[in-house]
Amino acid sequence: MKRKFTVVDLFSGVGGLSLGFEQEGMKIVLANDNDPDAAATFKKNHPKVNFHEDKIQTLDKKKLKSILKDTEIDILVGGVPCQSFSMKGPRRTNPTNPDSRDFLFKEFLRITGILKPKVAVIENVTGILSSRNGKIKDTIIEDFLKLGYKVDYKLVNAAEYGVAQLRKRVLFIASRLSGDIIFPIPTHSEENFVGVNDVLKDPPTINHDPKKLQGKTLQRVKMIKPGQNWKSLPKELQTGSIHSGSYGRLDPKKPAYTLTTRFDTPPGGYVTHPFEDRAITVREGARIQSFPDDFEFVGKRISQYRQVGNAVPVKLSNALAKSIKKMLIKNEE
């Protein structure tokens, strides 16, 4: 029997990347994150995976050797923390202020040098391409080249892979295989994107605890139709929000916009249920992120929202896994 391809998942969060690769028959041999709630969720849903719950800096050569022994690593993946690259993060409010998270990609590259995987993948927000005038992007490419990898990157949209969400992300793929780098092939286009109504029907009770709205928030929400936002409100109820999607109600026939870590509150964006006067629940957000219904999020509710918002959509991850698998199989042939 052919061995399963092995995967190490850094900055794993709850394991959206891990799950997509597992669905493609691969084995996650190690995952790492230092967020205790995300770690608890990962461990609950991936009980057989070695999990290192600590800062990535503690994963040195000795520690990796003690965990992995002589296991050959085929794939190294990582959703490097992206808040500092986001237009909603420090970059927007103070673009000249150095943020230590800008340099966590260096830790990913350090571990790439230790493990020498056949393929390494960094997933991130689109802001990483322009961060520090493109220097972050250039450094990632240069560092992979120094390690002996060929590398390419591509901007992808999760909606093009069957996710009910217009979530744009950048994929850096580095390879030391003989063949070409293969990016995920889109399966959907704007004509057949999955609308939120297709994923919000009949959610299970797990992680599905609708939050009741009150006062002016409820008053505003009741007046907004699917696809509309705060701009459709009467002048006396408008908020003056700088967020263009504030109080947005989801259009049932279209994908959601990118879920943030605060999709529990209508002022935060297009997170109001298409037909009910409330924000979507953790489970509904998880469905929009294409997590299966048996995937359980743990911790306080506000933490669960954050975990879902930070996750890599599972269907995007699975499409990525398919393309990496093709690269590995072609190399072996």
| Active site positions, annotated | 82
- Give residue 242's region: left, alpha or beta (phi > 0; psi -120 to 50): alpha
Of 259, 299, 286, the closest CA to residue 41 belongs to 299
Of 147, 68, 134, 73, the closest CA to residue 106 belongs to 147
What is the C-alpha to C-alpha distance for residues 271 and 33, in angstroms, rounded to an integer?
27
∠ CA(131), CA(136), CA(141), 5° rounding?
A: 140
- Residue 214 structure tokens: 């009150």
Say if residues 21 and 79 touch (Cβ distance below 8 Å).
no
Give how far Cα 30 sits from Cα of 54, 181, 257, 316, 321, Å: 13, 24, 32, 21, 16
- Residue 124 structure tokens: 């991130």
Say if residues 124 and 83 touch (Cβ distance below 8 Å).
no
Say if residues 31 and 52 touch (Cβ distance below 8 Å).
yes
How many CB atoms lie under 10 A from the CB of residue 251?
Answer: 18
Q: What is the DSSP string of 108-141?
A: HHHHHHHH--SEEEEEEEGGGGTGGGGHHHHHHH
The number of angstroms, rounded, from the C-alpha of 55 to the middle of its chain's C-alpha atoms is: 19
Half-sphere exposure of 178 (CA within 13 A, CB side): 5
What is the C-alpha to C-alpha distance for residues 300 and 282, in angstroms, rounded to an integer?
11
